[in-house]
Amino acid sequence: MDPVTDLVALREVVDGPLHEIARRLSRFLAERWPHTALVVFTRECTGRPRKVAGATEMINKVTIGELEELKAAVEPGRPVSTTASIAGAPRTVWVVRDPAGTLLVLVPRAARRRLPEPELLAAIFGLVVTSISQQVAQASPDYLAESRAASSERERTIAELAAAHEAALVAILTTLRSAGLDDRRARLSAADSASAALLALRSARKSDQALSEEAAPEAFARLREDIRQMLRHHEAPIEFVAPSGGSVPGEIAHAARAMTRTAVLAFTAQPGLARLRIAWSSDGASLVVDVRDQGSGELDVDGLRRGLQGRARTLGAALDIDAAPGWGSRVTISLPLDAPQPSGETRLTNLNRREREVLALLAQGKRNKAIAAELGVTESTVKFHVTRVLQKLEVSSRGEAAALALGAGLGVAHA
Residue percentage of the chain with pLDDT more than 70: 75
Query: What does the pLDDT read at residue 280?
Result: 96
Query: What does the pLDDT read at residue 414?
Result: 36
Query: What does the pLDDT read at residue 120?
Result: 92
Query: What does the pLDDT read at residue 203?
Result: 54
Query: What does the pLDDT read at residue 29?
Result: 93
The more confidently predicted of residues 80 and 246 is: 80
pLDDT band with cut points at 50, 70 and 90 for residue 138: low
Among 285, 278, 277, smallest CA distance to 248 is for 285
Average pLDDT over residues 20-49: 85
Using one digit for the tens of pLDDT, what is the confidence trace for 269-303?
A: 887 788 899 999 998 889 999 999 987 788 888 88
**Predicted model pTM:** 0.50
Query: What does the pLDDT read at residue 88?
Result: 87
Instruction: State whether residue 282 is helix, strand or coil.
Output: strand
Q: Is the pLDDT of residue 52 over 70?
A: yes
Average pLDDT over residues 128-154: 66
The more confidently predicted of residues 160 and 32 is: 32
Q: Is the pLDDT of residue 344 over 60?
A: no
Using one digit for the tens of pLDDT, what is the confidence trace for 4-13?
A: 777 878 888 8
Which residues have a Cβ under 8 Å from the Cβ of 356 and sit 6 or more positions away?
Answer: 348, 410
Q: Is the pLDDT of residue 221 over 90?
A: yes
The amino acid occupying position 43 is R
Residue percentage of the chain with pLDDT more than 90: 24
Average pLDDT over residues 165-183: 61
**CA dist 151 → 51, 115, 158, 222, 258 (Å):** 14, 34, 10, 22, 19
pLDDT band with cut points at 50, 70 and 90 for residue 413: very low
Mean pLDDT of the chain: 80
Distance CA 60, CA 87 (A): 8
Distance CA 370, CA 267 (A): 40
pLDDT band with cut points at 50, 70 and 90 for residue 415: very low
Q: How far is CA 282 from the centre of its chain?
A: 22
pLDDT band with cut points at 50, 70 and 90 for residue 134: confident
Query: What does the pLDDT read at residue 348?
Result: 73
pLDDT band with cut points at 50, 70 and 90 for residue 354: confident
Residue 341, phi then psi, degrees to nearest 5: -60, 135
Query: What does the pLDDT read at residue 255?
Result: 85
The more confidently predicted of residues 344 and 357 is: 357
Q: Is the pLDDT of residue 70 over 60?
A: yes
Query: Where do the H-state alpha helices sit in 239-378?
Result: 250-268, 301-315, 353-363, 368-375
Query: What does the pLDDT read at residue 144?
Result: 61
Query: What does the pLDDT read at residue 137?
Result: 64
Query: What does the pLDDT read at residue 363?
Result: 87
Distance CA 143, CA 45 (A): 9
pLDDT band with cut points at 50, 70 and 90 for residue 345: low
Are 319 and 335 within 8 A, CB to CB? no
Q: Is the pLDDT of residue 155 over 80?
A: no
Distance CA 307, CA 305 (A): 5
